[in-house]
């Protein structure tokens, strides 16, 4: 005999719905939102504030100056693109552009090649390589003025070491400061001496990320060290090489310290401006001729030159990276 019990309709109270999250402005949820969303922007804000203050604002203010005829007396006159038209017709400006590009090419090409060879040598197991790696950076931390004093003595016309070497093989002394090409060579050696070690350390850091398996497989296949360097190391260093070339381009186009100190702190760049760079031309126009609008226009043309060089390198990076 079975007993059937009719329990009737269920009288259980419904489960209350979970409490909805409050808006970001209430309680712990606001603190969580502040920690996850706002904190990263707060942490990186000092960089962007400094960049805005010392980067964007001077750039915009220089653009405003370049559109006016502004001098030390405070005379302000709207010229529009007049300063740019005058610059493009100014032979002194184009002379500075040629000097800048010439010294950039003469200094950068050997610098990158020497940095590659030096990095390849430092990548090998040698005794005291830590001290050697630190030693190649010493020229970078040396004062530019001290470097200029030493190289000025080395390139002296009457008692310089290099003229003595040339004289010992029957070559007439060279006036390194009075002629264009010799002055370019002298200043380029100063640049290479300071920056080759820095670029070598960058290349060395990139070389140490190359997988060792590639070299082992190449050695098993009978590839020599030279072939491994050109067919494994160099292709793996392409992004780093573009980075180094980009930095060298920016540094070469804004060259100022070395040629200025080479001529005793004078921004004229020699008796005939034979090694005056665009940066020296800007300083001369702004702080010797007190033509601030003209100097600002030259600064913006230099900025456009650097921008074009950077854009070319960016396109190369996209091409090498497979447009990723």
* pLDDT tier, 184 (very low <50, low <70, confident <90, very high otherwise): very high
Taking the C-alpha atoms of residue 66 and residue 68, their distance in angstroms, rounded to an integer, is 6
* pLDDT tier, 256 (very low <50, low <70, confident <90, very high otherwise): very high
pLDDT of amino acid 51 = 86
pLDDT of amino acid 233 = 86
Q: Which of 2-6, 170-174, 220-224 has the lowest mean pLDDT?
A: 2-6
* pLDDT tier, 16 (very low <50, low <70, confident <90, very high otherwise): low
Please indicate whether residue 95 or residue 33 has the higher confidence score (pLDDT). 95
pLDDT of amino acid 202 = 93
3-state SS record for the chain: CCCCCCCCCCCCCCCCCCCCCCCCCCHHHHHHHHHHHHHHHHHHHHHHHHHHHHHHHHHHHHHHHHCEEEECCCCEEECCCHHHHHHHCCHHHHHHHHHHHHHHHHHHHHHHHHHHHHHHHHCCCCCCHHHHHHHCCHHHHCCHHHHHHHHHHHCCCCCCHHHHHHHHCCCCCCCCCCCHHHHHHHHHHHHHHHHHHHHHHHHHHHHCCCCHHHHHHHHHCCCCHHHHHHHHHHHHCHHHHHHHHHHHHHHHHCCCHHHHHHCCCCCCCCCCCCCCCHHHHHHHHHHCCCEHHHHHHHHHHHHHHHHHHHHHHHHHHHHHCCCC
* pTM for this predicted structure: 0.79
User: In this model, does residue 142 exceed pLDDT 80?
Assistant: yes
Average pLDDT over every residue of 273-300: 92
pLDDT of amino acid 5 = 47
User: In this model, does residue 323 exceed pLDDT 60?
Assistant: no
- 89-320: CATH, from 2.60.40.1120, 2.70.150.10, 2.60.40.1840, 1.10.3720.10: 1.10.3720.10
Average pLDDT over every residue of 25-54: 76
Average pLDDT over every residue of 286-311: 90
Q: Which of 126-130, 225-229, 284-288 has the lowest mean pLDDT?
A: 126-130
Taking the C-alpha atoms of residue 281 and residue 267, their distance in angstroms, rounded to an integer, is 7
Q: How does pLDDT run across 61-115, given as a tens digit for each residue?
A: 899 989 988 777 777 888 889 999 999 999 999 999 999 999 998 998 899 999 9
* pLDDT tier, 21 (very low <50, low <70, confident <90, very high otherwise): very low
Average pLDDT over every residue of 195-207: 92
Average pLDDT over every residue of 298-315: 86
Is there a contact between 69 and 77 (Cβ–Cβ < 8 Å)? Answer: yes
Average pLDDT over every residue of 132-154: 86
Q: Where are the domains of the chain?
A: 89-320
């Amino acid at each position: 005999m079975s007993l059937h019990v009719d329990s009737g309709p269920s009288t259980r109270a419904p489960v209350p719905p979970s409490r909805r999250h409050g808006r970001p402005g209430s309680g712990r949820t606001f603190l969580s939102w502040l920690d996850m969303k706002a904190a990263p922007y707060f942490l990186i804000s000092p960089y962007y504030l400094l960049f805005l203050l010392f980067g964007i604002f001077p750039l915009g203010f220089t653009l405003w100056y370049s559109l006016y005829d502004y001098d030390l007396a405070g005379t302000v006159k709207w010229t529009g693109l007049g300063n740019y038209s005058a610059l493009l017709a100014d032979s002194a400006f184009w002379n500075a552009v040629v000097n800048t590009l010439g010294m950039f090419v003469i200094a950068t090409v050997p610098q990158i090649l020497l940095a590659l060879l030096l990095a390849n040598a430092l990548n090998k197991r040698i005794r005291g390589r830590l001290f050697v790696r630190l030693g190649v950076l010493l020229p970078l931390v040396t004062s530019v003025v001290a470097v200029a004093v030493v190289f000025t003595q080395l390139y002296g016309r009457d008692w310089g070491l290099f003229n003595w070497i040339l004289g010992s093989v029957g070559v007439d002394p060279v006036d390194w400061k009075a002629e264009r090409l010799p002055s370019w060579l002298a200043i380029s050696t100063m640049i290479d001496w300071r920056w080759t070690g820095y670029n070598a350390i960058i290349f060395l850091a990139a070389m140490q990320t190359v997988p060792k398996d590639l070299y082992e497989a190449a050695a098993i296949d009978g590839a020599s060290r030279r072939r491994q360097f050109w067919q494994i190391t160099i292709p793996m260093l392409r992004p780093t090489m573009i980075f180094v070339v980009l930095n060298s381009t920016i540094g070469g186009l804004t060259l100022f310290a070395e040629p200025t100190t080479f001529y005793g702190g004078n921004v004229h760049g020699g008796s005939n401006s034979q090694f005056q760079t665009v940066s020296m031309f800007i300083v001369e126009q702004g702080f010797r001729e007190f033509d601030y609008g003209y100097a600002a226009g030259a600064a913006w043309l230099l900025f456009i030159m650097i921008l074009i060089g950077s854009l070319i390198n960016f396109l190369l990076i996209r091409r090498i990276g497979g447009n990723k």
